[in-house]
Amino acid sequence: MENKEGYKKTELGWIPVEWEVKQLGEFVENLKGGAPLRPSDFTDNGFKVLPKKGVVAGGILNIDKNYQTFCSIEYASDNSNNIVDKEYLITTLRDLVPTGPSIGYIVKIISDEKFILAQGVYGLKTTENINNDYLIQFSNTKQYRKIMQTIMVGSTQVHIRNTDFLNVKLPLPPLPEQQKIASILTTVDDKISSIEAQIQQTEQLKKGLMAKLLTEGIGHTEFKDTEIGRIPKGWEVVTLQTLLDRKSILHHSDGNHGSLYPRSNEFITHGIPYIGANSIQNGRINLTKAKYLSEAMAATFKKGVAYNGDVLFASNATVGPVALLYLPYNYSILSTTLTLYRCDINQINNYYLFFYLSSALFTEQYLPLIKQTTRNQLPITAQRTLKIILPPFSEQQQIASILSSVDDKIDILQSKKSAYTTLKKGLMAKLLTGQMRVKI
């Protein structure tokens, strides 16, 4: 932008002429920080403590049961200056991680309760000259995050000095424009939150359906007791080894070990995918995490050669994630962290096996078998002792179809969330810099 009409050059770049560059401290009438709590100050219940881990990107303080800690009523009484309520915005200026991922995010409390601040957590009471939602949205911008990185001090435990935090400069529109910008961005946030809630509900539905369909099937009235629970009378419980002996599972192997493991200089930017456990995301392979081998190099591998339709199970380092392999490649090479299961598709529906290996029924069997050495692992031999509930083939197909339809709904919701997240990023980049103006 060069001498654009209606804009002016500032230390923060070009901004509309009506906007100003202001220090954060000009709008903070009270800043209070938490005092260190000793182990003896914490209790099983009492006065709620706001910990650092509840302050993350997004604008709303996470105070659900997973983040709740408590201190004694006596401690809270002795440190009443560190108590905040919903009139305060919350931030953290201290983090154990050198990159300081949570530092500086500004969030609000959605609760009528009062809380006491943990060490490193701060409460900000702002003046009427700034819109709190605008300030929260600005704290999620790349511009603001870069500023936070530049004013951090320390190494193993990084922190930001109060004065440096209050001296942070931000581009500030007139208050009515702040309110309109915040309203637009908050509306998109609300849409994303609504979609996230739908995703969670659908995932809970899937979890319940899996528990029911994989043990009760569809329309059965007669059941029998087995070593892993009650199942329909016409079903069977078999080990993986039995399925291999029957040739219902045609192939079961993991990636190459030792000297056959590719060296770092053998990976290229394009070619045949070389995938590991970290590539599994929501039951599929995320190629952004994959490496690649040349076709000549890939052709030398005899183990861990996976084809579309194979079920992949993370069995080393990270144990548990499962994926169905469907990629636009003729084949893929597996690292040592994955095991492949190749079904005879006339005997075992690979989608059914995918859902079964993803279920609590399977997880509960292998967790006691995981050997803790330098990292978790479930060896091939141990996997072959695990039991699989096997309905007749036609019912496998029905069960897989029902669960796949729920997965399809989750995929649609995930796509919607991604689209709104992209929209939000674009709007933030334009609205919070004045590149796009709003009508008041």
- For the four alpha carbons of 161, 166, 169 and 171, in that order, the dihedral sign comes to positive
**Looking at the structure, do residues 40 and 166 belong to the same domain, yes or no?**
yes
Instruction: Say what the pTM is.
Output: 0.84
The whole domain housing 102 covers 24-172
pLDDT at 176: 96
The total of structural domains in the chain comes to 2
Identify the residue whose tokens are 């970290």.
Answer: 278
**Looking at the structure, do residues 113 and 253 belong to the same domain, yes or no?**
no
Query: In this structure, is residue 45 part of a structural domain?
Result: yes
Query: In this structure, is residue 203 part of a structural domain?
Result: no
Query: In this structure, is residue 412 part of a structural domain?
Result: no
**Looking at the structure, do residues 251 and 156 belong to the same domain, yes or no?**
no
**Looking at the structure, do residues 34 and 135 belong to the same domain, yes or no?**
yes
Among candidate residues 326, 352, 378, the one where a domain is terminated: 352
Query: In this structure, is residue 96 part of a structural domain?
Result: yes
Among candidate residues 298, 327, 352, the one where a domain is terminated: 352
Q: What is the mean pLDDT of each run of 10 residues along the chain (440 residues)?
A: 80 93 94 86 88 72 70 90 92 74 84 88 93 94 90 84 94 96 95 96 96 96 94 96 97 81 87 94 91 92 93 92 95 94 96 97 91 75 95 97 97 96 95 91
**Looking at the structure, do residues 248 and 168 belong to the same domain, yes or no?**
no
Query: In this structure, is residue 80 part of a structural domain?
Result: yes
pLDDT at 360: 94
Query: In this structure, is residue 336 part of a structural domain?
Result: yes
**Looking at the structure, do residues 138 and 254 belong to the same domain, yes or no?**
no
**Looking at the structure, do residues 162 and 62 belong to the same domain, yes or no?**
yes
pLDDT at 61: 72
Q: What is the CATH number of the domain that holds 51?
A: 3.90.220.20
Query: In this structure, is residue 266 part of a structural domain?
Result: yes
Overall residue count recorded for the chain in this entry? 440
**Looking at the structure, do residues 259 and 135 belong to the same domain, yes or no?**
no
**Looking at the structure, do residues 168 and 248 belong to the same domain, yes or no?**
no
**Looking at the structure, do residues 163 and 301 belong to the same domain, yes or no?**
no
**Looking at the structure, do residues 165 and 30 belong to the same domain, yes or no?**
yes
**Looking at the structure, do residues 76 and 163 belong to the same domain, yes or no?**
yes
Among candidate residues 150, 172, 194, the one where a domain is terminated: 172
Query: In this structure, is residue 157 part of a structural domain?
Result: yes
